[in-house]
Amino acid sequence: MKQVLIRRGDVVADDVPAPALEPGTAIVAVLRSCISVGTELSGLNRSRLPLWQLAARYPDHARKAIQSVATLGVSRTWGLVQGQLAAGTAVGYSAAGVVVEVAPGVEGIRPGDRVACAGAQCAHHAEVIRVPQNLLTPIPETVSFEEASTVALGAVALQGVRRAAPTLGEHFVVIGLGALGQLTAQLLRANGCTVIGIDLDRTRLELAERLGASATVHTDDGSEVDQVVRLTGGAGADGVIITAATASNTVVSSAFQMCRRKGRVVLVGDVGLHLNRADLYQKELDFFISCSYGPGRYDSHYEEGGADYPIGYVRWSENRNMAEYLRLIEQRRVVVGALISDTLPVERAAEAYAALQSESRPLLTLLSYGSGSTEPSTLAKVVRNPKPLSARSGAVGIALVGAGGFAKGVHLPNLYALDKVCQLRAVVSRSGHNAAATARRWGAAYCTTEFEEVLNDPGIDAVIIATRHNLHASMALAALRAGKHVLLEKPLALSAAELDPIVRFFDELPSADRAPILLTGFNRRFSPYARRMREWVASRSNPMILDYRMNAGYLPPDHWTHGPEGGGRNLGEACHIYDLFTFLTGARVERVQVSAIRPSTGHYRVQDNFTASMAFADGSIANLTYTALGSKDHAKERLEIFCDGKVVSLDDYKSLSIAGAKQRPLRTRLPEKGQKEELEAFARAILDGQRWPIALWEQEQATRIALDVERALNRGL
């Protein structure tokens, strides 16, 4: 299918695989999508900036890059950044089409329904989109796809008006009469207000008057403030809604000055915000910010999770604003057709965006898509790479499932470096444009959004699964049943109910069968540091005491790791250390004890701040201190092993020393946590028929320790 991307300052309509259905979503064949002049033009201009300017403008991103250099090095970080730039950015956030498929649990929507869709995370300029339930709404019969495709802009305008709380007979000023301002003016008129429009373009002023504005103001005709005061009988406006886009601070100042005493100003657009206290103070004005489409915006539980707000407590949610906007179009209280300048096929998207940068840029331009076929079988979920790397005999054919930041920064460079034993054959990602870009960059034969495609491909020997944690166990089991070897990023499972079927799968295999290899990504045991430590303690005559401290760093409560997708940091990260303890002792665990602090505020979580002590069958005792209380400026990980008069000290996988014995210390410039060695061991085991890199009982043990710790934390210890 075709999808519009912004890539290195250019607009391209790229071929990408169609999205696959997910729980809580519907697949929509798009017929029209609406290009937002302000938002999308700023994104296009931003993509043309050199990296140093982007770093200056977005310091948070720059800090993340610096942190990445500390762990991945300059070369890999640079490759990761370049890969993201090459992938491009999906654009568009307002579309209309026909429902193709509906996931179980989605209510009120059926295949064949006409729907309007919103959301920058889903309502892209693409032939097919996947949309969560709360970001789509049915289109009334008399409303066209062209009109409905403006639903996101309409909801933004409607939310701005709701924040202003207009009443019958009030005078309102709308500053900025682009598409958003024109819709805002019509909505205010529908509320019984007298509307005054302000813009620098006289044609837009004329259009606003034709659509119902009572008066308009141009700066060439005198002071805007004086004109508004005169038009309101000397009292000043009851309210001002700013829908303009400019870096100037004077727009907000003028808006305040136009108001009567105790008036209100609502900011919907993007303007300079250097506020002058005197502008607000003397008149005791109210200043409001309007948050996009309404309550629910930027709330992942609402938008992606499908949790609605009770109407008795939140009358106008994001979705209800979308539906109401379409109802107003149906009643012809809002006119959209006059705002649409042109409709171009998606293949001419670059031409549409070029028009946005002309002097006479249009208010609204729409994109149209294909024939609008709504048959699921017509939605291609596989796209071939026109320039794949040549197939290599004797190398393991690998599919990467989940092309996120970790996979791009770690697994893909390692696959490339190990080209004699590994070859990337396919990339699977829930985002079609990400899958396509990743496949092209790393030479995969094809990309897809459908996991089953690689399971049915005889050219795929193994899969690397690097998805969100809640998908790990089910995907691993499906791949094993398909006869594929599996390198599964930790954790192996988030519950015993997920873990038991995997263990049972291997138990039930006929002994004559060669089982596919399962390797959970407990990479630390493969690091040169862990290997050296095991050598140093191999000849011990007594049990050990192992003391591991993980200064994990703070993650906010709404981070995905804490939710159902992540399972929490004990299951998702501390499991590394439970495996390392198993590796160093080589023994079965006999007892697990857990203690945790009870944070005084909701800022910290019990699951982030605990100690877990393990007693092993060889008599060794291991203790993990896991905390989010510390500073990220301090080293993340440290291990001390006390054994036979010696102390082994590991610092952040960058240095290793031993006290009490004459052994040469080990040091590296960057942390070496064993990811490359893990991948090589996986490939060698497949090619040479060697024993598993990690025995199944060890993988199971590390996972069950994590599950025991989790149960203790959840039941209050």
Cα 118 → chain centroid: 16
What is the rounded CA–CA span in Å between residue 391 and residue 443? 10
DSSP state of 346: G
Is the per-residue pLDDT at 96 higher than 90?
Answer: yes
Instruction: Give the pLDDT confidence score for residue 504 in this predicted structure.
Output: 96
Burial of 694: CB neighbours in 10 Å, binned 0-12, 13-18, 19+: buried
CATH superfamily, with its number, for domain 160-289: NAD(P)-binding Rossmann-like Domain (3.40.50.720)
Contact 460, 399 (CB under 8 A): yes
Contacts of 139 (CB under 8 A, 6+ apart): 96, 114, 115, 116, 145, 148, 326
- Within 10 Å of residue 66's Cβ, how many Cβ atoms? 11
Q: What are phi and psi of 398, to 5 degrees?
A: -120, 140
Measure the N-to-C terminal CA separation of the chain; round to a whole number of Å.
52
pLDDT of residue 164: 97
Regarding beta strands 621-627 and 589-596, do their DSSP bridges make them parallel or antiparallel, or are they unpaired?
Answer: unpaired
Angle between helices 696-714 and 575-585 (to 10 degrees): 130
Across the range 354-365, mean pLDDT stands at 83
Local confidence band at 10 (pLDDT 50, 70, 90 cut-offs): confident
Count of helix runs (H) and strand runs (E) in the chain: 24, 33
Residue 44 clears pLDDT 70, i.e. is over it: no
pLDDT value, residue 425? 97
Q: Which fold has domain 2-150+299-375?
A: Quinone Oxidoreductase; Chain A, domain 1 (3.90.180)
What pLDDT is recorded for position 681?
Answer: 97
- 278 versus 476: the higher-pLDDT residue is 476
pLDDT surpassing 80 at residue 690? no
Find out if CATH 3.30.360.10 is the number for domain 523-714: yes
Q: Are strands 245-246 and 259-267 parallel, antiparallel or unpaired?
A: unpaired
Name the residue with higher pLDDT: 83 or 135. 135
Q: How far apart are CA 115 and CA 95, in angstroms?
A: 9
Region 438-459: mean pLDDT is: 96
Q: Tell whether the model's pLDDT for residue 530 goes beyond 70.
A: yes
Question: In the prediction, which pLDDT does 37 show?
Answer: 72
What pLDDT does 420 receive? 92
For 243, half-sphere exposure in the C-beta direction (CA atoms, 13 angstrom radius) is 29
- And the tokens for 150? 């403006």
Per-residue pLDDT at 110 exceeds 80:
yes
Residue pLDDT, tens place only, 641-659? 999 999 999 999 999 999 9
The predicted pLDDT at position 45 comes to 59
Q: What is the 3-state secondary structure (H, E, C) of 395-414?
A: CEEEEEECCCHHHHHHHHHH
Return the structure tokens found at 422: 């590994």
Determine the residue type at 38.
G
Enter the DSSP assignment of 126: B
Q: Which of 165-179, 263-277, 542-556 has the lowest mean pLDDT?
A: 263-277
206 Cβ contact list (under 8 Å, min separation 6):
216
Half-sphere exposure of 676 (CA within 13 A, CB side): 11
Q: Rounded distance, CA 583 to CA 527, Å?
A: 12
Q: Residues of the chain with pLDDT > 90: what percent?
A: 78
Burial of 224 (0-12, 13-18, 19+ CB in 10 A): buried
Q: What is the pTM assigned to this prediction?
A: 0.88
Candidates 1.10.3720.10, 3.40.1390.10, 3.40.50.12500, 3.40.50.720; CATH matching 391-518: 3.40.50.720
pLDDT digits over 364-386, tens only?
999 999 755 555 555 789 999 99
Report the 10 Å Cβ neighbour count for 386: 7
d(CA 6, CA 597): 47
Mean pLDDT over 598-614 rounds to 91
Compute the mean pLDDT over every residue in the chain, rounded to the nearest whole number. 91
- pLDDT, residue 331, reads 96
Q: Cα separation of 471 and 478, whole Å?
A: 11
Every domain of the chain and the residues it spans: 2-150+299-375, 160-289, 391-518, 523-714
| Two structure tokens written together for 91 | 């654009």
Given this model, what pLDDT does residue 46 score? 58
Chain-centroid distance, C-alpha 260: 44
* pLDDT number for residue 370: 78
**Is the pLDDT at 512 greater than 60, yes or no?**
no
**SS3 assignment, position 266:** strand
CA dihedral 213, 219, 225, 229 (to 10 degrees): -50
Q: What is the mean pLDDT of residues 510-526?
A: 89
Output the pLDDT for position 375. Answer: 56
What is the C-alpha separation between 1 and 90, in angstroms, rounded? 14
Taking only the tens place, the pLDDT of each residue in 277-326 is 888 888 999 999 998 899 999 898 899 999 999 999 999 999 999 999 99
User: Quick one: pLDDT band at residue 89, thresholds 50, 70, 90?
Assistant: confident
Tell me, yes or no, if the two domains 160-289 and 391-518 fold the same way. yes
Q: How confident is the model over 347-357, as a mean pLDDT? A: 88
Whether 437 and 3 have beta carbons less than 8 Å apart is answered as no
- Answer whether residue 68 shows pLDDT above 90: no
Cα 587 off chain centre by: 40
- Alpha-carbon distance of 583 to 699, in angstroms, equals 10
Task: Please determine, for residue 59, whether its predicted confidence score (pLDDT) is greater than 80.
Answer: no
Beta bridge pairs of residue 114: 98
- Rounded Cα gap, residues 622 and 614, in angstroms: 5
